[in-house]
Amino acid sequence: MIKFINETAEYLISKGFHKPEIGIILGTGLGQLTNHIEDPIEISYNHIPYFPTATVEFHKGKLIYGSIKGKKVVVMQGRFHLYEGYSLQDVTYPVRIMNALGIKALLVSNAAGGINLNFKKGELMLIDDHINLQGNSPLAFKGVEQMGTRFTDMCAPYDKNLNTKLKEIAKKENIQLHQGVYASVFGPQLETRAEYRFLKIIGADAVGMSTVPEVIVANHLDLKVVAVSVLTDECDPDNLAPVNIDEIIEMAHKAEPQMITLFKKLIAEL
């Protein structure tokens, strides 16, 4: 994997991806931050050596380099998921590439279902902690100790200072920003009523199918992480209706401007 990472990074550097400071992963329906990148260089995933290819229809599949608020950024417009048939090493490969390019901080977004019924769809949740229910670890492979400590500490996977900054920005901008625990499941099926009840019992405030693998690897690489969920639906097991994916995407688009404001303001302070 080290050889592949070096070759991928060298390719991107040759295309102009020079010493980005911040990496950004954009989740389902949350690609419009790319419109705020100055002097962008875009490369489709399928042109990047050893990169997976996004197969979900609402994930664009581009790696974009440029500037936001005077900071050099590299942005994933579209991410990878276990439910697409990829391994955890595939899903997290882009984080290792962004680290090899030189990033020091990782900003992550996702679309999630609201388990905490005090949170409403269209609102944002700052992830303070997570529960890994994907059944495996992206660090569980032979040779991982050559890339960082095998037994990565996860007592604070989301950087406290960055979380504090984001909460202060949200307050100044009058943006409702909840704080809670994100549970990551395998997918792609949505949860049953019993599963939603279980998630609430174990302490989850929101549920999705991404983010946790990337955050684990970012901690393995000693990157500072901050993550925000856009709550696209309310998962009330006592009043559960069939899911409408189009409505979920529409809700993500509706809440996206607030997330963009938070990320841009935070980038300016980094």
Sign of the torsion formed by the C-alpha atoms of 163, 64, 253 and 219: negative
Instruction: Please list the residues that pair with 231 across neighbouring strands.
Output: 112
Q: Report yes or no: 232 and 252 within 8 Å, Cβ to Cβ.
A: yes
pLDDT, average across residues 131-153: 94
pLDDT, average across residues 203-230: 98
pLDDT, average across residues 228-254: 91
Q: Is the pLDDT of residue 188 over 60?
A: yes
Q: Residue 28: its pLDDT value, please?
A: 79
What's the rounded Cα separation, in Å, for the pair 195 and 189? 12
**pLDDT digits over 66-78, tens only?**
999 999 999 999 9
Burial 104-115 (b: 16+ CB within 10 A, else e): ebbbbbbbbbbb
What's the rounded Cα separation, in Å, for the pair 199 and 251? 22
Q: Is the pLDDT of residue 53 over 80?
A: no
Q: Report yes or no: 106 and 235 within 8 Å, Cβ to Cβ.
A: no
What percentage of residues in the chain have a pLDDT greater than 70? 97
Q: Report yes or no: 229 and 124 within 8 Å, Cβ to Cβ.
A: yes
Cα torsion through 261, 100, 79, 75, rounded to 10:
30
Task: Single out the residue of 234, 228, 233, 215 nearest to residue 257, CA to CA.
Answer: 228
What percentage of residues in the chain have a pLDDT greater than 90? 86
Q: Report yes or no: 33 and 78 within 8 Å, Cβ to Cβ.
A: no
Residues 6+ apart with CB under 8 A from 155: none
Q: Is the pLDDT of residue 163 over 70?
A: yes
Q: Report yes or no: 259 and 140 within 8 Å, Cβ to Cβ.
A: no
User: Which of 16-20, 79-83, 210-214, 239-243 has the lowest average pLDDT?
Assistant: 239-243
Banded pLDDT at 24 (limits 50, 70, 90): very high
Q: Residue 243: its pLDDT value, please?
A: 82
User: Which of 64-73, 165-174, 253-262 has the lowest average pLDDT?
Assistant: 253-262
Banded pLDDT at 54 (limits 50, 70, 90): low
Q: Residue 105: its pLDDT value, please?
A: 98
Distances (CA, A) of 126 to 53, 69, 109, 227: 28, 22, 9, 6
Looking at every residue in the chain, the average pLDDT score rounds to 94
Sign of the torsion formed by the C-alpha atoms of 247, 87, 106 and 20: negative
Q: For the chain, which domains are there?
A: 2-269 (3.40.50.1580)
Task: Single out the residue of 230, 231, 224, 91 nearest to residue 158, CA to CA.
Answer: 224
pLDDT, average across residues 247-253: 87
- Which one is predicted more confidently, 169 or 55? 169
**pLDDT digits over 61-109, tens only?**
899 999 999 999 999 999 999 999 999 999 999 999 999 999 999 999 9
Q: Report yes or no: 159 and 132 within 8 Å, Cβ to Cβ.
A: no
Task: Single out the residue of 229, 224, 261 nearest to residue 127, CA to CA.
Answer: 229
